[in-house]
Structure 1
Amino acid sequence: MKNKIFLYLFVFAALIALYQLVSANNLQKELNSDIQTLSTENQSLEDSIQKMQLKILDMQYFSLENNDDALAYYEHLNLENPTRYIADKLLETNESKGDNPLIPYAGMNGSFKINKIKVLNHRWLLADFSDGKFWGDLIIKYELKDDLSVDFTLVDHLLYTRSN
């Protein structure tokens, strides 16, 4: 009788060990599959990040911050951030009552004001304007003088028409 109990315990222990082995093997296969999937996804995301970084570099090509030759024109002024200074001076033109004096259109849904500014180099900038409903773009020539005043001259403009 004692031998039968040991035999049953041995068979029971062997079945538990077999179950553990199969279960662990299945778990390992599933984990390896998950790792492979995540690795592929990670590689895809890294490729996307690299593409976005290249796109950002392309977009920054025409900017004062990345143009050392253009920044050299302002070294003697000791401005920490010439782009921000010029953009602030342009935004100050919005403070006048009514339409911005640089915008050659009368506001149809309020006053036209400049919203976004992209300083291209030491002479030109692009600006977006809107009255809340209608919008357009400006190309502006500017001159930053030694006394830190800025003269703005409108070069070209565009008002988008609505198609509806």
Structure 2
Amino acid sequence: MKKNIYLYLFIFTALICLYLAVSGSKMSTASNSRIQSLENKVDALKDSLQQSELRALEMQYFSLENNDDALAYYDHLELENPTRYISDKLLETNESKGDNPLVPYEGMENDFKINKIKILNHKWILADFSDGKYWGEILIRYELKDDLGVDFTLMDHLLYTEVTNGWLSTTF
């Protein structure tokens, strides 16, 4: 009888060991496949991040902050941030009553005001304007003088107008 108890105990222990070995193997396989899946996702995210960085660098190509030759024009003025200074001066034109004087259109819903500004180099600015419903873009030539005054000259403009199947760009 004692012999049968030891035999049953041995068989029961062997079955537990077999169960643990099989389930451990399955858990290891599942973990390895999950690790591989996560590594693939990390690789995809790295590629996506690299593409985003390249796009950001490409977008910064036409930018005063990244153009050392254009920034050299302002070395004698000792401006800490010429881009910010010029942007602030352009936004000050929004403070006049009515439409912005650089926008050659009359606002239809409200007054046209400049919203976004992209300073391309030491001579050119691209700006977006809107009245809340309608919008357009303007190309501005500017000159930063030694007395820190800024002269803005409108070079070209366009206004997007609504049509039945979408939006149409119109220049005048």
Normalization by structure 1: what TM-score? 0.98
List per-residue Cα deviations over 1:66-119 (Å, max 9, x = no partner): 000000111111111111110110000000010000011111111000000000
Partner of 2:158: 158
SS of the residue 1:160 aligns to = strand
Give the letter aligned to residue 125 of structure 1. Answer: I
Partner of 1:2: 2
Higher relative contact order (CA 8 A, sep 6+): 1
SS of the residue 1:161 aligns to = strand
* CA distance in 2: counterparts of 1:17 and 1:80, whole angstroms: 73
Partner of 2:23: 23
Unaligned runs of 5+ in 2: 165-172
Runs of 4+ in 1 over 4 A off after TM superposition: none
Partner of 2:36: 36
- Would you tell me which structure has more strand in proportion to its own residues? 2
Where does 1:103-114 land on structure 2 (aligned, <5 Å)?
103-114=103-114
SS of the residue 1:18 aligns to = helix
List per-residue Cα deviations over 1:105-159 (Å, max 9, x = no partner): 1111110000000000000000000000110000000011111111000000001
Unaligned runs of 5+ in 1: none
Normalization by structure 2: what TM-score? 0.94
Partner of 2:116: 116
* CA distance in 1: counterparts of 2:64 and 2:4, whole angstroms: 90
* CA distance in 2: counterparts of 1:142 and 1:71, whole angstroms: 14
Partner of 2:170: none
SS of the residue 1:162 aligns to = strand
SS of the residue 2:138 aligns to = strand
TM-superposed deviation, 1:163: 1.5
TM-superposed deviation, 1:2: 1.1
SS of the residue 2:35 aligns to = helix
SS of the residue 1:122 aligns to = coil
* CA distance in 2: counterparts of 1:9 and 1:84, whole angstroms: 82
The answer to whether residue 60 in structure 2 is matched with residue 67 in structure 1 is: no
Partner of 2:101: 101
